Structure 1
């Protein structure tokens, strides 16, 4: 902030500075920092400033950070968590398993207390926690992961089987991720949906939305709503509200 950067109101780990030549962005997580932007001289000045204030080490062009792999090509910038997926498969003992075509069986509704109690609570929480982190680059598993995350306090064998299916689905294509490309525009598109009273336990709906900027997916979520919607229209409006 002494350098003139401002903290983002949306994410307190993000700092930004507008200059005459563009914009400089800085993302910090504990002692890891990522700097980007379209002002090359501003980036160099920021790096020199940080080097004078702290004992920093410049690792060069970003290739790997916090389990996320970054690859550049003529098509754009590709983000994936391939190694993280392989580590998860190894941790769950599913490296030799047969992949599943979908992360969740169609029409399945998980409920509390369904089936035999899964006694290894720590293993369930660790595996589902890792799946949650994978949704950073795998929006295709956001909904099933949000479902198995609802039973962290008392999972059953049925819930564990659902989590295992997600891991088996990831094995089919561990290299999948998100491509950010220049599509020649900066238009914003938002899509939202909700399943009215979809939860058999408390009749609450599940919000799902995704936001595209310039044709690139930048934000998405799948989460159970905090209250019971009294109509399908209300559940849809509640799904739209976070996207405003």
Structure 2
């Protein structure tokens, strides 16, 4: 029996590519523009024949057994994200841009050897950059003619990330997001701390008493995971506390509070992308050996720089138990190499 895979989602740019996109614009000193598509999922064209029950309050008189045939997608339909991206992709490619094979959420076009336009889409949020201002204006008008599009001008705020631009470069930070987390947990006026985690403390599964509100723990750790988009210094400690989502204890909660006290010390901390007159890609990787006290697995860490700007990083526990420190290091190198190959394809 043959099985077919049906894609029901709209491709979204990886956060590492969002940073790569911004870093390249800063290195080339290109302007960044933002567009927003209104009611994006209502623009999709359905490829299948789909019917729905008549909505409550709207039933044809004497014809209660009838159903509605859908001609367009709408919110709540499983096919809507795919239908929207398919329509958007066709419109952009009809303009003359090509879709990137390494990341389908990225489109690019070269009008001449030294003139280019790049577009990145995240569901209905669009960022455009390049050095061909005339072509960018034509692209905006092309999108205006096909969709209800709002021109937000220069990029300032994207996916909860603040993106101020200046002559020095592009800064990405999540100050407001970090302050909202501190306010939610009542730590706005707490005493800050210099390190996010006690290096001498090893957290285990059955450590201390159970935490009384596991849902609160999961929600808070989930928000901290999103904060790591612009805070590589939080990747390792957040990765550790995220291992205890299912059954958190008091000690695990105290470790989360310590991370928040560290964030309180500088909630506006972020990354600066600037033109250092280089586009060289450099990566560093490392690994401990049997560092986890629970399953004796090692932890991989790597970071990738583009022209001296940090664009990608990860702290992740390895999937198997390394039998030597050399094996742990090689596994770390393999993971970093995979990221480098993907970035090379993008570039």
Length-normalised TM-score, structure 1: 0.94
Q: CA deviation at 1:43?
A: 1.9
Q: What is the aligned counterpart of 1:146 among 239, 249, 256?
A: 239
Q: Distance in 2 between matches of 1:80 and 1:45?
A: 31
Report whether the alignment pairs 1:58 with 2:146: no
Alignment CA distance shift 1:231-1:6 (3 Å): farther
Q: Distance in 1 between matches of 2:125 and 2:100?
A: 18
Q: Which residue of 1 aligns with 2:248?
A: 155
Q: Distance in 2 between matches of 1:151 and 1:96?
A: 27
Report whether the alignment pairs 1:17 with 2:88: no
* Count of residue correspondences: 244
- 177-186 or 148-157, which moves further after superposition? 148-157
- 148-157 or 30-39, which moves further after superposition? 30-39
Q: Which residue of 2 aligns with 1:189?
A: 282
Q: What is the aligned counterpart of 2:309 among 210, 213, 216?
A: 216
Q: CA deviation at 1:107?
A: 2.5
Q: Distance in 2 between matches of 1:242 and 1:156?
A: 31
Q: Distance in 2 between matches of 1:229 and 1:5?
A: 46
Q: Distance in 2 between matches of 1:188 and 1:29?
A: 25
Q: Which residue of 2 aligns with 1:130?
A: 223
Q: Which residue of 2 aligns with 1:199?
A: 292
The gaps in structure 1 that reach 5 residues or longer are none
Aligned-residue CA RMSD in angstroms? 1.5
Q: Distance in 1 between matches of 2:255 and 2:99?
A: 39
Q: What is the aligned counterpart of 2:130 among 14, 18, 37?
A: 37
Q: Which residue of 2 aligns with 1:165?
A: 258
Report whether the alignment pairs 1:3 with 2:95: yes
- 59-68 or 2-11, which moves further after superposition? 2-11
Q: CA deviation at 1:99?
A: 0.5
Q: CA deviation at 1:10?
A: 4.4
Alignment CA distance shift 1:167-1:8 (3 Å): farther
Q: CA deviation at 1:45?
A: 2.2
The gaps in structure 2 that reach 5 residues or longer are 1-92, 338-347
Q: Distance in 1 between matches of 2:156 and 2:129?
A: 13
Q: Which residue of 2 aligns with 1:96?
A: 189
Alignment CA distance shift 1:199-1:119 (3 Å): same
Q: CA deviation at 1:170?
A: 0.6
Q: Distance in 2 between matches of 1:22 and 1:202?
A: 53
- 234-243 or 17-26, which moves further after superposition? 17-26
Alignment CA distance shift 1:63-1:216 (3 Å): same
Q: CA deviation at 1:9?
A: 4.3
Alignment CA distance shift 1:47-1:93 (3 Å): same
Q: CA deviation at 1:145?
A: 0.7
